[in-house]
Structure 1
Amino acid sequence: MWFGIGVSSAAPAATQTLREVVTADADGLDLFSVSDHPYYGDRLDAYAVVGTALGATSRISGLVNVTNLPSRPAPMLARTVTSLSALTGGRIVLGMGAGGLWDDIARLGAPRRTPGEAVRALAEAITLIRALSGGGDRVTFDGEFYQVTDLAPAEAPTPPIWTGSGAPKSLAVTGRLADGWIPGHAADWLSERFRTSRPLIDEAATSAGRSPADVATVYNLPGRITPAPLDATRDDEGRWIGGSAEQWAEELTGAVLDHGAGGFVYFPPGGPSAETMRRRWAEEVVPRVRAAVN
C-alpha cells in the first residue's frame, strides 16, 4: 500500500512545498507527488522538485504525476530516474503519461503526436526505460520514436512505473507493461471511469501473461478532512467530497478490501485549512487504514 500527499509545483510556493515534503517524511508517508508542466514559466521543473526534496528527506519516495513524456525523451528520462534511484536508495516512482496538452507541448519544441503515435511512444518508452536500468547487456534499440546504440544500462533497478492512461489503447499498454495506474480526473473506485477502464487493463495484463494484480491502482484523492462527520461524504453525482477522519478511513478501507485499491495520494483543498487537513491525513486517516488492511 502507498499513502502519499500531493504538493504544488508553483514557483512562489517552493519553500512551502519542500516544508510539506519534509513533514510528510517525518510523518511516515510513503510518497509525495508533483505535476509536470514544463511549458509554464511559473511552475518549477518537476524533477528539480523531486531531486531537491529527496535530498532533504530520508524515507519518502518521489513521484512525478505524471511525467510529460513528449518533452522528456525516454533515454534521458531513464538516466534521470536511475540516477535519482542510485542517489536515494531507490526512493523514486516513475509516473508516465503519453501527453495531452499538445498546443503547450508544441510550444516547447517537442513533437506533436497523434493519439495513436502517443500511445505507441509510451509503450516504446516503458520498454526502453526498463532495458536501460537494472544492469545487464548493452542496449541497442531501433524503434519508431526512440533509437539508441550500444548503451550500457544503469545498475540501479527500474523504479515502479505508473501511468496516467485514459483511452483504451493506452490502458492496454498499462496492462501489458506498467506496474500501476493512476485514474485521471480524481476518479475513484466507484466512478464510471474506474468501472469501464480497469477491466481493459486487466484483460491486457492477462493476455500478456501477467496477473492483473501486478498493476496497482493508485488514486489521486481531493476532499476535506473535517473535525466532525459529514451527513453526506459524496455529492449528488457520487463524487467523494470528504468527511471526518473516521469516515475517510472507513471509505478507504473499503476501497482496499472490496475494490483492490493499491494506494492513495491526498490533495487537500487550498486555503488556510490545508495544513490542518494534511496533518489529519497523515496522523489520523492513514494510520487507521493501515491498521485495518494489514
Structure 2
Amino acid sequence: MPDYGHDLLFSANLVPHAQQADTVVALAQLAERAGLDLVTFQDHPYQPAFLDTWTLLSYVAAGTESIRLAGNVHPLPLRPPAMLAQAAASLDILSHGRFELALGTGGFWDAIAAIGGPRLTPAQGVDALEEGIPIIRAAWDTATAGGIHHHGEHYRIDGAQRGPRPAHDIGIWLGAYKPRMLRLTGRLADGWLPSLPHLGSIGKIGEGNAIIDEAATEAGRSPKNIRRLLNLGEELPPAQLAEIALTHGVSVFTLMVGDPSAIQRFALETAPAVRELVAAERAGSQTQNSAQRPGSPALRSQAAAAQGAPLAAVPTPDDGVRLTDARVWDESTRPTGPRPDPERRYTPREQADGQHLIDVHDHLRAELAQLRDLVDQVAAGTLDAGAARSHINTMTMRQNNWTLGAYCESYCRLVTMHHSGEDAVVFPRLRRAEPDLTPVLDRLAEEHQAIHKIIERVDRALVAFVTDPGGLDHLRATVDLLTDSLLSHLSYEEHQLVEPLARHGL
C-alpha cells in the first residue's frame, strides 16, 4: 500500500467527562504545550456523564492558541447538516482556522432515538450522510450565487443562504469501516478516521485503503487527496507507527489518553521518533527513484548499500545471573536453529528488521528495571503514597491510575501484547519461510505461556499486597521470578531469531 506523502500529525483523544471538566480542559492545554498537533473529543450527546462536545470544543478553542481541534466523531443524525455547517464554520473562524469536521452515521440508534433523534437503519444512516456532506460543503461555498436547494429522503433545504465561510478549507473526515462507507469516503470525504481496536488488525487498514482509492479514482479524485487517520487504543512503539505510515499511508495518529505523562511522552518522544524514521525512509526512496548518471558516486553508494553488509544487530547475552532458585523450564533442553551463513550480507532494510526485535526487547527490559526499582523503594519505606504517585508519573510506561498495582498491571499487559503479536504474526511467517526453525518457535511459544502464568502470579501477589502489606516479600519473590524468566527468554529469542528476521523480514 502507498505512502500518500502527507505530513505527520500526532493527536490526543480525550473523554469529555463532565465530572472532570477542569481536568479535560487542562489535558487539552497540556497537549498544546507538549507540541501535539491535534486534540479530539468523543461526541456522544446522549451520554449524560459527558460534556456537550461542541460547547467543550469552543471553550478549549478559547483557551488554546495553536493546536487543532476536532470531534471524534460527530453523529450527523443529531445535528441538521446546514446548522452543523454554520457551527463548524463559526468555530473555525473563532479559532483562526484550527477546526476539522469528523463525521459518522450515528450507530447507537436506541440512544439517539431516546433523546429525540431519528431511528435509522445502518443503510439509511449512510444515505443520510451522503446527503448531508454536499449540504455542508454548499453552506461553506459563499463564492457560488444563490441559495442551497436539496430535496432528499432525509434532508430538505429550500433556498438556505450560504455562509459563513470557514477561515480555512475544513477537512471532512469520516469514521468508516464497511465497504459502502469506505466508498463514500473515497467519493466525498477529505479523510478516513477509523479506530484500530474496531478494525481488529493493522492489515484492515490496507483493505480499507484499497476500497477508498478505487472509489476516489472512479469519482475522478486523487487518492492522495484523502488523509488517512488512525485512532490508537494503545501506545505503539515508534517503529511500528512508522511502518504503518509508510506501508498504509496513515499520517495522523490519535492516542486515546487521560494521563498527563502519556501525553508528554507521545508528544516529546514518540512523535519525533516516528517523524525521523519516516523522513529517513522517504528521503531514501526519493534518492533511489531519482535519475542519476551511471557510475556517479551516489549511484555507486546505492549499489554498495544494496549489496549489504554483515549483520550489525547483536543479540543481548544472558549473563547467567538468577535472583531466585525457582525455575519454570530447563534451559538445557532449548533447541537451536540452523547456523547462519557467515558470508551472508544484509541490506539496510534487512538490518533494520533484525534490530527491531532487540529494540522492542530493550524497551521491555527498561520497563522491568523500573518496575523492580519501584518495588524496592516501597519495600525500603522510602516512598509514601504521595511520593510514589509523583514517581510513577515520570515513568515512560502508560498507567491508568497512581497505584503500584496499576503500574505492574500495565507492564504485564505490554509483555502479553508483545508475545501475542509474535505468536499470531511473526512466528507463523517464520515457520513458512524457514521450516527448520519450527522446534525453536514451538519452544518460544511454550515459554510465552509459562511467562504468562508468572504474570498471573504477579497479579495475585499484587492483590494480596493491597489487602495485606505483609505480602510484600511474596510480591518481590514473584517479580524476581518474572525477572529471571523474562530476561532469559528475551536473550534466547534474540539469539535464535534476529538473523532469520533479517533474512525474512518482519
Normalising by structure 1, report the TM-score: 0.86
Judged with a 3 Å threshold, the aligned counterparts in structure 2 of structure 1 residues 47 and 59 are, in CA distance, closer, same or farther, namely same
SS across alignment from 2:197: coil
**Which protein, 1 or 2, shows the higher relative CO under an 8 Å CA cutoff with sep ≥ 6?**
1
Q: Tell me, yes or no, if the aligned pair for 2:100 and 2:172 is still in contact at 8 Å.
A: yes
* d(CA) in 2 for partners of 1:78, 1:210: 23
For the 8 Å contact 2:238–2:271, the answer to whether it is kept is yes
Residue equivalent to 1:164: 175
Q: In the alignment, what sits opposite 2:239?
A: 250
d(CA) in 1 for partners of 2:272, 2:157: 46
- Residue 152 (str. 1) matches residue 162 (str. 2): yes
Which piece of structure 1 moves more, 115-124 or 284-293? 284-293
CA shift, 1:114, in A, is 1.6
Alignment of 1:116-155 (within 5 A): 116-136=123-143, 137=145, 138-150=147-159, 151-155=161-165
CA contact (8 A) 2:206 2:248 kept: no
The aligned amino acid for 2:154 is F
Q: Is the 1:133–1:155 contact (alpha carbons within 8 Å) kept by the matching residues of 2? A: yes
Q: Structure 1 residue 185: deviation in Å? A: 4.9
Please tell me whether Structure 1 or Structure 2 has the larger radius of gyration of its CA atoms: 2
Question: Please, which moves more after superposition, 81-90 or 255-264?
Answer: 255-264
Partners of 2:232 and 2:199 lie apart in 1 by 8
Q: Which segment is superposed worse, 53-62 or 193-202?
A: 193-202
The farther-off stretch of 178-187 and 77-86 is: 178-187
Q: CA deviation at 1:292?
A: 3.1
Q: How does 1:76-87 map to 2 (within 5 A)?
A: 76-87=83-94
Determine the structure 2 residue equivalent to 1:205: 216
Where 2:45 maps in the other structure, the secondary structure is coil
Residues 34 and 263, structure 2, Cα contact 8 Å, conserved in 1:
no
Paired amino acid for 1:210: R
Which residue of the other structure, out of 259, 266, 275, is the alignment partner of 1:281?
266
Q: Aligned with 1:262: secondary structure?
A: strand
Aligned residue pairs total 268
1:170-209 to 2 correspondence within 5 Å? 170-186=181-197, 191-209=202-220
SS for the counterpart of 2:140 is: coil
Between the aligned partners of 1:6 and 1:116, the Cα distance in structure 2 is 28
Give the deviation of 1:217 after TM superposition.
Answer: 1.4
Q: Mind listing any 5+ residue stretches in structure 1 that lack a counterpart?
A: 225-241, 243-247
Q: Give a deviation string over 1:86-136, Cα, whole Å, max 9, x none.
A: 111111110000110100000011111122211111111111111111422
1:149 CA drift (Å): 2.5
Measure the CA separation in 2 of the matches of 1:191 and 1:283.
24
Mapped to 2, the partners of 1:285 and 1:209 lie a distance apart of 36
User: For 1:293 and 1:51, how far apart are their aligned partners in 2?
Assistant: 34
Counterpart residue number, 2:252 = 263
Query: Percent identity between the aligned chains?
Result: 35
**Are the aligned partners of 1:10 and 1:42 in contact in 2 as well (CA < 8 Å)?**
yes
More strand per residue: 1
The answer to whether the Cα contact below 8 Å between 1:187 and 1:193 also exists between their aligned partners in 2 is: no
How many Å separate the matches in 1 of 2:96 and 2:156?
A: 29
Is the 1:21–1:32 contact (alpha carbons within 8 Å) kept by the matching residues of 2? yes
Rounded to whole Å, the distance in 2 between the matches of 1:36 and 1:86 is: 21
* 2:52 counterpart (7, 31, 45): 45
**Which amino acid in 2 is paired with 1:142?**
H
RMSD: 1.8
Tell whether the 8 Å contact from 2:9 to 2:252 is kept in structure 1 after alignment: yes
Residue 292, structure 1, aligned to residue 301, structure 2: no
1:221 correspondence with 2:228: no
Q: Indicate conservation of the 8 Å contact 2:183/2:211, yes or no.
A: yes
Q: How far did 1:189 drift?
A: 10
Task: Judge conservation of contact 1:189–1:259 (CA < 8 Å) in 2.
Answer: no
Aligned position for 1:3: 10
Could you list the per-position Cα deviations for residues 170-201 of structure 1 after superposition, in whole angstroms to 9, with x for gaps in the alignment?
11111100011112353579534324322111
Report the counterpart of residue 23 of structure 1 in structure 2: 30
Q: Structure 2 counterpart of 1:250, which letter? A: A
- Aligned 8 A contact 1:71 1:108 in 2: no
| CA–CA distance in structure 1, aligned partners of residues 182 and 103 of structure 2 | 12
Q: Where is the helix percentage greater, Structure 1 or Structure 2? A: 2
